[in-house]
DNA sequence: CGTTGACTTGAGTCTATTCAAATCCTGTGG
DNA sequence: CCACAGGATTTGAATAGACTCAAGTCAACG
């Protein structure tokens, strides 16, 4: 099922990208070097499965480009997106636990390039290297942070606010005033991520436009007044814009 | 605000309880001994605040008895329960991160006894002791697991199913057949934890009773046929009963 | 230029919420 | 042991938000 496009034991093209990731940066050099030796480069076409829930967690992945949807599916076929991971993020961290099974399904939401490494190696690295364990701890904490934020949003914000919150996070939280950006992936995927149906997303977006004067055309987004947006969104949130704790791109944090 | 009821540098009465906790068990003996030296026993009456979001995370807590509600509040006063922690659980783990602020409010949901220790000590322990870091890693993973499950439930299950799921977890996942148990705290608190209003809880419970023949009188719960309950609940979940990954009491796991 | 997939819109339904009122419970003081 | 205040829970009626299903629009692509 998985297609290994390159089996070299060096990753000249991507090594630099890998070093940008939070977790990898934090590894002591000898550990990361030895890990690199065992890495494989993996390219997944859109919709290809990466792993399934309850599979033995033999592999651990870093995302170099694209998007990976980590999700769960009920017997009835409904699906819940648990996290949507992008460049610099890692997948399969439950490989570390004793049971060693994945706890969710994962699939490429877009054409995605990853670095794949044997889980036991990283487990071993964590066991042997204190710095690795600390790096993982920090990575886990990051993820938990983001997840907590999502939980809060689901419980406290309505559909238009959740979309607005998503846009705010896309803005990156630096400057006030005008912003212009592109949605990183399709609207229906954003909808699922935010815990709503595609139709609801579409309607909620209309409301958001009227309430905050944001403009959305295709994937292009214009935010004429980020304060207006923040006012609308943050009324239903425990944080105020800029909510630094909560960033979409893992490379921005820490 | 916090009332220290006992300032001894030994905890004869509670030391045993502390050793039962997952995290503490995993600490190397010299670390846990030195931590114990700096612990204080803390008793909180119901509704007393433990810490607030954005406070500097100076303290780290173990729960000996009672329940701690970790929650967030919007400007408008709505509140979302992030986690509801009981005996053996720990509170304030974000004390480890650089920023070092709590990311949520926390308060005693019932009369609660905790062990309180300076965060910097545990941070130091994690930095110096590899085993401590690994123990924390495992503790973090546990929490993330539970949170993921909650996220899934919110997105995929309706109110009666979420209540049913809660009851299933209370049953502990061991034997089939009949079960009899008591709710650990009030219904409105369970409602908030499950992301619904008290009134909704009440009505949803009626539906659950009719659909699965569970009986609830006050805090007493009777489950005549756990399979019927599981069938009703697990249709909307990625797991099937018994869902071992997801336990309420941290002492049961691992 | 037609096809496909992504998105939008409409109508009707269902679920959960709000607000208000009624009941039930529990701990307390007498 | 009993009555009672105050909180917790239940119930009712009306409303709002999100969902389903179905149809329509739009745009990219072969």
pTM for the complete prediction? Answer: 0.89
Say if residue B31's pLDDT is above 70.
Answer: yes
pLDDT band at B18 (very low <50, low <70, confident <90, very high): confident
Q: Residues B126-150: what's their mean pLDDT? A: 89
Q: Which pLDDT tens digit goes with each residue over B159-191? A: 999 999 999 999 986 677 788 999 999 999 999
Question: Angle, to 10 degrees, between the axis of helix A119-128 and the axis of helix A29-38?
Answer: 160
Q: Residues B95-101: what's their mean pLDDT? A: 75
Q: Which pLDDT tens digit goes with each residue over B184-233? A: 999 999 999 999 999 999 999 999 999 999 999 999 999 999 999 999 99
In chain B, residues 162 through 201 whose Cβ sits under 7 angstroms from any atom of nucleic acid strand D? 186-189, 198-199, 201
* Residue B134 DSSP label: H
pLDDT for A91 equals 94
Q: Which pLDDT tens digit goes with each residue over A156-189? A: 999 999 999 999 999 886 677 788 999 999 999 9
* Residue B173 DSSP label: T
* Residue B73 DSSP label: E
Subunit contact B133:A133, Cβ cutoff 8 A: yes
SS3 state of residue B142: helix
pLDDT band at B6 (very low <50, low <70, confident <90, very high): very low
Say if residue B62's pLDDT is above 60.
Answer: yes
pLDDT for B187 equals 97
Of B103, B130, B155, the CB nearest to A148: B103
pLDDT for B103 equals 92
Please indicate if any CB of chain A lies within 8 Å of the CB of B176: no
* Residue B239 DSSP label: S
Q: Which residues of chain A have pLDDT under 50?
A: 1-11, 252-254
Nearest CA in chain B to A98: B254
Of B72, B81, B98, the CB nearest to A238: B72
Subunit contact B155:A97, Cβ cutoff 8 A: no
Say if residue B104's pLDDT is above 90.
Answer: yes
Percent of chain B, pLDDT > 90?
Answer: 54
pLDDT for B9 equals 45
C-alpha torsion A53→A55→A60→A61, nearest 10? -50
Query: Choosing among B119, B128, B133, which should be mutated to test the A contact, i.e. which has the most A CBs within 10 A?
Result: B133
């Amino acid at each position: 099922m998985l297609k290994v496009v390159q089996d070299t034991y060096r990753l000249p093209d991507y090594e630099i990208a890998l070093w940008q990731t939070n977790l990898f940066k934090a590894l002591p050099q000898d550990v990361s070097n030895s890990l690199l030796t065992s890495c494989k480069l993996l390219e997944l076409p859109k919709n290809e499965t990466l792993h399934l829930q309850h599979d033995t967690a033999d592999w651990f992945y870093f995302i170099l480009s694209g998007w990976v949807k980590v999700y769960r599916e009920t017997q009835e076929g409904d699906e819940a997106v648990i996290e949507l991971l992008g460049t610099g993020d890692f997948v399969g961290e439950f490989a570390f636990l004793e049971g060693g099974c994945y706890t969710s399904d994962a699939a490429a939401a877009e054409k995605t390039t990853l670095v794949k490494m044997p889980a036991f190696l990283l487990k071993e690295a964590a066991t042997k290297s204190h710095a690795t364990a600390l790096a993982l701890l920090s990575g886990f904490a990051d993820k938990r942070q983001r997840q907590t934020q999502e939980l809060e949003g689901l419980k406290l914000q309505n559909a238009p606010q959740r979309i607005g919150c998503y846009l705010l996070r896309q803005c990156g939280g630096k400057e006030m005033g005008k912003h212009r950006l592109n949605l990183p992936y399709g609207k229906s995927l954003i909808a699922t991520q935010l815990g709503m149906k595609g139709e609801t997303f579409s309607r909620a977006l209309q409301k958001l436009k009227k309430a905050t004067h944001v403009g959305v055309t295709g994937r292009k987004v214009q935010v004429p007044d980020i304060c207006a947006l923040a006012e609308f969104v943050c009324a239903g949130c425990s944080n105020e814009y800029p909510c630094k704790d909560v960033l979409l791109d893992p490379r921005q944090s820490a």
